[in-house]
Amino acid sequence: MAESKPYTVRWGILATGGIAKTFTKDLLVDPSTRDVLDVRHTVVAAASSTSKDRAEAFLKECNVPSGATAYGSYAELVADPSVDIIYVATPHSHHYQNTMLCLKAGKNVLCEKAFTVNAAQAKLLVEEAKKRRLFLMEAVWTRYFPISVELREMVKQGKIGTLQRVFADLSIGEGEKIAESFKPENRMVNLDLAGGALLDLGIYSITWVFQFLYHLQPAGSRRLPSVASSITKYPVTGADEMTSMIFTFPSDPPTHGIATTALRPAHDPDKRGTAGPAIRIQGTRGEIQVFGPAYRPTKYRLVFFPGHGESPVDVEKPIPGGHGMMWEADECARCLRDGKLESEGLGWEESVVIMEVMDEVRRQGGLVYPERIESTEYPLEGF
């Protein structure tokens, strides 16, 4: 029997910064290197808000095969009929405006995390996608790693008993060099670009908590957690540099999620794993410990209470080719192929709920961004 041809998706890349390069290079990795045979990716266009030259340089640096179009504006990219889906890779301050531009032009979108600056913006994007019957997904790539898929299934099967608590930390260890690393204009600490640990890094700690304590609940019985949180601000700009959150999920019995994030302390201070796992998923029979940065985990350890199994069991999950962003791209391709508007790995409702939770954390910590980037008005000049 003849094998069916892989479904090919034609990508347009909106923005030419650091993560746009990483993602585009991953799109070009041969999917068979990760045993994926049903979908494949081509990059047909890229746009820079700065200049066409910059978009050309981007395509060259990423080794995109000739034939792809370089645009000097996002408006030109969204009008390109040869593009099936656009990857939005601007700072999160710009996601609402840029994603809305794509949707209104009839394009499917994969939008980088954090989805938007606030939940009100996220809801409007979802409404627009729903109204126009377009695919829209928040690019929380970690959810599509085989390790995440495997662990969700393992927990669902009850391997560690009844879930009790999840700890997750993503803290990048800038320590005393923070002022050197992050000048006030750097997007990591710049309020005009929605900078700060919460939206940039804390989203991963939150995603680990939510993958297990929220996502695995049957869709009809998912309930918002209560939130108690604390924020310490970076004195130079007022962005959050250390944010700690305790979520109580109202299941029976309630479960707890402890998500932390910070710019100065580190989840792995000596980069040798001496601090132990960054994530611990705890049940009534044992726990799963996940190692590596929360956004790109490559190893887990299964530890059982005495009498519940042999432990520890260490499992390595190396990333085959590329950085690890290919799996979320494969998910987009399959959703487009199958006519799905949202991904089961992280659906619209969950992205919105996570933005609501982050709104609440910001409210408790008094973290407010400039009105211009909190605004739901569209279009606003200068994006």
Q: How far is the CB of 14 from ligand NAP (least distance, A)?
A: 7
Contact stretch for ligand NAP (CB under 6 A) within 16-24, 176-184, 270-278, 351-359: 16-24
187 binds ligand NAP (CB under 6 A): yes
102 binds ligand NAP (CB under 6 A): no
Among 9, 11, 16, 261, which residue sits at the site for ligand NAP (rule: CB under 6 A)? 16
Among 8, 32, 33, 50, which residue sits at the site for ligand NAP (rule: CB under 6 A)? 50
Q: At what angle do helices 95-104 and 119-132 cross, to 10 degrees?
A: 10
**145-174 residues near ligand NAP, rule: CB under 6 A:** none
Tokens of 13: 């890349």
CA dist 287 and 282 (Å) reads: 4
Contact stretch for ligand NAP (CB under 6 A) within 10-18, 24-32, 64-72, 346-354: 10-18
- Cβ(90)–Cβ(109) below 8 Å: no
Report the SS3 class of residue 73: coil
CA dist 287 and 96 (Å) reads: 38
25 binds ligand NAP (CB under 6 A): no
Tokens of 350: 């969950």
Would you say the C-alpha torsion 76, 78, 84, 89 has a positive or negative sign? positive
Among 90, 108, 229, 237, which residue sits at the site for ligand NAP (rule: CB under 6 A)? 90
Contact stretch for ligand NAP (CB under 6 A) within 46-54, 129-137, 266-274, 285-293: 46-54
Q: Residue 298 class from Cβ within 10 Å (0-12 exposed, 13-18 middle, 19+ buried)?
A: middle
Q: How far is the CB of 295 from ligand NAP (least distance, A)?
A: 5
Q: Residue 34 or 301: which CB sits closer to ligand NAP?
A: 34
Report the SS3 class of residue 47: strand
91 binds ligand NAP (CB under 6 A): yes
Q: How far is the CB of 58 from ligand NAP (least distance, A)?
A: 7
Contact stretch for ligand NAP (CB under 6 A) within 44-52, 62-70, 150-158, 224-232: 44-52
Q: Residue 219 class from Cβ within 10 Å (0-12 exposed, 13-18 middle, 19+ buried)?
A: exposed
Contact stretch for ligand NAP (CB under 6 A) within 90-98, 154-162, 256-264, 273-281: 90-98
| Measured torsion, CA atoms of residues 171, 176, 177, 182, in degrees rounded to the nearest 10 | 60
Among 9, 31, 49, 101, which residue sits at the site for ligand NAP (rule: CB under 6 A)? 49
What's the chain's length in residues? Answer: 383
Q: Residue 249 class from Cβ within 10 Å (0-12 exposed, 13-18 middle, 19+ buried)?
A: buried
CA dist 308 and 1 (Å) reads: 46
Q: Residue 160 or 319: which CB sits closer to ligand NAP?
A: 319
52 binds ligand NAP (CB under 6 A): no
CA dist 50 and 128 (Å) reads: 27
- Name the site residues for ligand NAP (rule: CB under 6 A): 15-20, 48-50, 54, 89-92, 94, 112-113, 139, 141, 187, 193, 200, 295
